[in-house]
Structure 1
Amino acid sequence: MASNEDSPPIEQSDQASPTPELHSEDNERLELLQNSIHKETTEEEGNDSFTLLKDLETDFLTIETLPVEILMHIFNFLDAKFIVETLGKVCVLFKDLFSGDTYWKTRLSKRCPEQYPPVYEENFNWSEACVEREEQYRVWSKPEETCVHISYKQAIFASVDTVHLMKDATLLATGSRDRYLNLLDLTKYNEEDPIASMKEMSLISTDKKHKGWIWSLASYDDILCSGSWDCYIKLWDLNADLAEINKFKCKSAILGLHAEPNWIVAAGYNQFLYMIDPRSGSGEKKKFHRRPVLCVVADDKYVISGSEDKTMAIFDRRAGRVYKTIQTESYAMDLSFGHNQLWMGDKEGQIHLYDTTHGSFEIVQSYDVGHTGKVTGIQYNTGALFTCSTDRTIKILEPTRNPGVISTLDTHKGEVARLSYQNGTLASAGSDCSVQVWLPKTIYQSYRA
């Protein structure tokens, strides 16, 4: 069985309640197990939970006949992923033990007592979250051992301002101040011959797509969207060598993008938000701020924009108006939105958590996680919280109410301008004219198979 050497051993967790839908043999076995745990014994008989094992028939002497409390203690030393994908499918009894939330909640709380998830989420999948958190910790607590690190500088001649992972992190788009738009195939990288594979990775490398710095990237389906200081938003076909599909002229540089199949929202340097329907090309611009809009995120209900005027505007998509404006002490550089949470990274190097449940957008807490420069990128998922900064570092944090540091990456020689995380892979853009990529070895090996 697989073991998790990176995660500390934990105490036994609460026993999940078995369901009545067991076969007769399993019912008999489970009754014996429960009796072995709960039966009152005399001093002469002893109080060891193994007392009744002698009463079991030889055919019953297998791992599943151990008392449930012992089984749970053993399972705590195994990877959550192995339990979910393999062990839980061995027999009805094992499936039942892990079918509820009790075991997974206890397992997580033993390993990290901080509040998780940071904000309550209805119908939260505890087993998936446990698998994700343990996998992220395994990878990022020792990235030098668990990841293949790629430092990409091919055809980059100026500061890289944006990176964007797509297609389950098999493709990476980059935009820089030399006006180059690069599209990389990460599956082509070979650590045994990195120089040759750099050329194989490069699918597209051109400075003919925009006439200004490429500052923002987003995607949906097979479409890549780019925003530039030339005031254009352009749409590119990933299946046709980035052939141009459409373009939209705005009145200022585009500093942030959110893209959906039927809707694009862009943050403008001229204080406006541009909202465009890419199907018809129609759009409108809205002014919610008094200074440049630096970042924008959205879901099906809200659009959140952050500006240099030290405000965040919450736009209600259904009502078609701003329904709340949040004043901040320092302005937002980047935002991450989802799971009833809004994470904001600011100019002073702080990160802030807001509870967005039922549209409340109330501040929960602010944190100093050790950055000494602006927080230029922030991205949350159930396994980890990623941040990057002008202090040249990237931090991987616990995704909890009090996010402790799992590890700090300091590969860049200059400011880190942006990061992107998808499907286990992390990419970052730097002013040192490079793109850094961390590819877990398990994923890398699947590409080389």
Structure 2
Amino acid sequence: MASEQSDDSSLHLPQSEGQLDLEHEKDLEVQAQEYVDRVWNPETSGPRPQSCPLEPCSEQQLRSSKSSGSDLSVKLRTSQVLPGESAQSGLLSLPWELVLEICSYLDARFVLGVLPLVCRTFQSVLTDEVTWRIRAQKILGMSYPVLEGKDFDWPTACIELEEHLSHWSSDDPRAEHFSLSDGHFASVDSVLLVQNASLCISGSRDRNVNIWDLRRLGQVREKVLVKTLGDHPRGTHRGWVWALAAQENMLCSGSWDSSIKLWDLASDGAAVREIRGKAAVLCLVYLPDVLVTGSYDKTVTMYDPRVGYPVLSSRKMHSSAVLCLAADHRFVLSGSEDRTLVVIDRRTNHILQRLQLDSYLLTMSYLNGELWAGDKWGLVHVFDQKDGNFQHVKCFNVGHRSQLTGISHSLGTLYTSSTDKTIKVHVPTEPPHTVCTLPHGDVVNGICVEGNVLAAASGSMSLEIWRMTK
């Protein structure tokens, strides 16, 4: 009997710390997989409502400019040679319509950066907003931009448009493609370009965060993978790495293990600190004066990175998981599975708006008060901010068949990625014109664009890089 009692008691001995860790990590993966199956699975996006816009007919969208360009050119016909300039010399004696036609064969960056130095007349005309508005309309022949504020930078927009089209609009795009598949052994879910796109950071379901040196791409016998962050034998984190953000040399990674880890890229990726949360970290925004996190438990939390990352605010803004974030010096924007977009005033920490949407947003791109976001049906939504008030102004079907997982926009560019296994390159017209589609063999979980580099996180355990060439 004594022996039987001894055997029975051994069944109730406390589990080792390692066993508990493994069980906890298994629970985290179950939770994460359930979330992915519900929110990110292409088969669960469901049918689009009848109110959704139809897919654009892209081959009919880029057409030559008609009335819009001619209306504006009237303003140039009255242009006069400035006092002190010779009216008889070279180009200055030609009609300005012909001068601008000649300039249209030169790169916009050269026209803006060099020709205004030739004389004051060139400086007057070639730095005029109307000149660049006409040039953009001749390139596109479509409604552009979608939103035009009083400070819209037409010269920069023209430069971006021309370079963007030159990279992607030919049958043989001027971009080198590299597939980096030797760093992760599970789906890559997050990607971030840092340090002027010389480095790329990737986060994966293998729980690791990797650093890649893109300057080594294409070099013989050069290993692009630099290192895996952290020194834990089972991974950088104890759960899937779902979000990345950076500010200067400081990198942060958010995980399903409810932690945010900070790393110093200037010190070879040395660990700086760990912030423990209460739920899985699904999205991050990192600004000089605030680190914002969105989590699985419906909470938006703000930390102050200037004084050791104390919590400035932590509130349940939604009735379901926070899926995406954006922020600037005035606002924090959070999108949730509850199909709402919440606008928070950073100065007062009050909710300014709660916009109810037809579907939930999964990804955001926010620039100068203009928010472009992608939803579960693969649609692109545009929100405009005026006097602190955000309005939903446009909804576009850009040709994706399921959830949008990434979006990046600027004055002259628009990129989208989806669980339909494609990345699409567009011009941000109304509606967006799709310049080309980059097919992939698996779902694309996110994108990041900086400078001349496009990086994508792939479900096929790889990091996909396109480097645009001149």
Length-normalised TM-score, structure 1: 0.84
One-letter amino acid of the structure 1 residue matched with residue 299 of structure 2: F
The alpha-carbon deviation at position 224 of structure 1 amounts to: 0.6
Deviation digits for residues 17-57 of structure 1, max 9, x if unmatched? 6578x452x1x41xxxxxxxxxxxxxxxxxxxxxxxxxx6x
- Distance of aligned partners of 1:402 and 1:9 in 2 relative to their CA distance in 1, 3 Å threshold: closer
The alpha-carbon deviation at position 253 of structure 1 amounts to: 0.8
Q: Matches of 1:114 and 1:220 in 2, distance apart?
A: 37
One-letter amino acid of the structure 1 residue matched with residue 204 of structure 2: S
Aligned to 1:203: 226
Aligned to 2:192: 164
Q: Matches of 1:440 and 1:352 in 2, distance apart?
A: 27
Aligned residues of 1:88 and 1:95 also touching (Cα < 8 A) = yes
Aligned residues of 1:17 and 1:97 also touching (Cα < 8 A) = no
Aligned to 1:299: 328
The alpha-carbon deviation at position 91 of structure 1 amounts to: 2.7
Aligned to 2:364: 335
- Distance of aligned partners of 1:144 and 1:435 in 2 relative to their CA distance in 1, 3 Å threshold: farther
Given the alignment of the two structures, is residue 96 of structure 1 paired with residue 124 of structure 2, yes or no? yes
SS at match of 2:186: coil
Given the alignment of the two structures, is residue 316 of structure 1 paired with residue 316 of structure 2, yes or no? no
- Distance of aligned partners of 1:111 and 1:215 in 2 relative to their CA distance in 1, 3 Å threshold: same
Deviation digits for residues 239-281 of structure 1, max 9, x if unmatched? 1111111211001110100012231111101111121123233
Given the alignment of the two structures, is residue 136 of structure 1 paired with residue 164 of structure 2, yes or no? yes
- Distance of aligned partners of 1:399 and 1:298 in 2 relative to their CA distance in 1, 3 Å threshold: same
The alpha-carbon deviation at position 378 of structure 1 amounts to: 1.0
Q: Matches of 2:276 and 2:106 in 1, distance apart?
A: 55
Deviation digits for residues 123-150 of structure 1, max 9, x if unmatched? 2221111111111111121384411111
One-letter amino acid of the structure 2 residue matched with residue 309 of structure 1: D
The number of residue pairs the alignment matches comes to 397
Aligned to 2:434: 405
Q: Matches of 1:327 and 1:89 in 2, distance apart?
A: 51
Aligned to 2:114: 86
Q: Matches of 1:373 and 1:86 in 2, distance apart?
A: 45
Query: Which moved further from structure 2: 208-217 or 86-95?
Result: 86-95
Aligned to 2:283: 256
Deviation digits for residues 337-371 of structure 1, max 9, x if unmatched? 12331111111111111111222211112111110
Q: Matches of 1:339 and 1:401 in 2, distance apart?
A: 18
Residue of structure 2 aligned with 1:416, choices 444, 465, 469: 444
Q: Matches of 2:126 and 2:182 in 1, distance apart?
A: 48
Higher RCO (C-alpha under 8 Å, 6+ residues apart): 2
**Please, which runs of 5 or more residues in structure 1 have no aligned partner?**
1-6, 30-55, 443-449
One-letter amino acid of the structure 2 residue matched with residue 326 of structure 1: L
One-letter amino acid of the structure 1 residue matched with residue 213 of structure 2: D
The alpha-carbon deviation at position 153 of structure 1 amounts to: 0.9
One-letter amino acid of the structure 2 residue matched with residue 218 of structure 1: A
Deviation digits for residues 407-440 of structure 1, max 9, x if unmatched? 1111x21100000011121100010111111111
One-letter amino acid of the structure 1 residue matched with residue 206 of structure 2: D
Given the alignment of the two structures, is residue 215 of structure 1 paired with residue 242 of structure 2, yes or no? yes
Q: Matches of 1:405 and 1:373 in 2, distance apart?
A: 17
Residue of structure 2 aligned with 1:265, choices 292, 306, 309: 292
SS at match of 1:212: coil
Aligned identity (percent) is: 35
Q: Matches of 1:291 and 1:90 in 2, distance apart?
A: 60
Q: Matches of 1:127 and 1:394 in 2, distance apart?
A: 27
The alpha-carbon deviation at position 177 of structure 1 amounts to: 0.6
SS at match of 1:330: coil
SS at match of 2:387: helix
Deviation digits for residues 70-124 of structure 1, max 9, x if unmatched? 2122222222122112233233332222021111111112222433222122222
Given the alignment of the two structures, is residue 226 of structure 1 paired with residue 280 of structure 2, yes or no? no
- Distance of aligned partners of 1:17 and 1:103 in 2 relative to their CA distance in 1, 3 Å threshold: farther
Deviation digits for residues 287-332 of structure 1, max 9, x if unmatched? 0111111111101111111111111111111121111101111111
Q: Matches of 1:309 and 1:67 in 2, distance apart?
A: 59
Query: Which moved further from structure 2: 89-98 or 236-245?
Result: 89-98
Query: Which moved further from structure 2: 63-72 or 304-313?
Result: 63-72
Aligned to 1:290: 319
Aligned to 1:120: 148
One-letter amino acid of the structure 1 residue matched with residue 290 of structure 2: W
Aligned to 1:345: 374
Length-normalised TM-score, structure 2: 0.80
Q: Matches of 2:462 and 2:171 in 1, distance apart?
A: 19
Q: Matches of 2:98 and 2:288 in 1, distance apart?
A: 51
Aligned residues of 2:183 and 2:462 also touching (Cα < 8 A) = no
- Distance of aligned partners of 1:393 and 1:170 in 2 relative to their CA distance in 1, 3 Å threshold: same
What RMSD, in angstroms, separates the aligned Cα atoms of the two structures? Answer: 2.1
The alpha-carbon deviation at position 206 of structure 1 amounts to: 4.3
SS at match of 2:432: coil
One-letter amino acid of the structure 2 residue matched with residue 203 of structure 1: V
Q: Matches of 1:380 and 1:145 in 2, distance apart?
A: 19
One-letter amino acid of the structure 1 residue matched with residue 227 of structure 2: I
Residue of structure 2 aligned with 1:184, choices 190, 204, 212: 212
Given the alignment of the two structures, is residue 65 of structure 1 paired with residue 90 of structure 2, yes or no? no
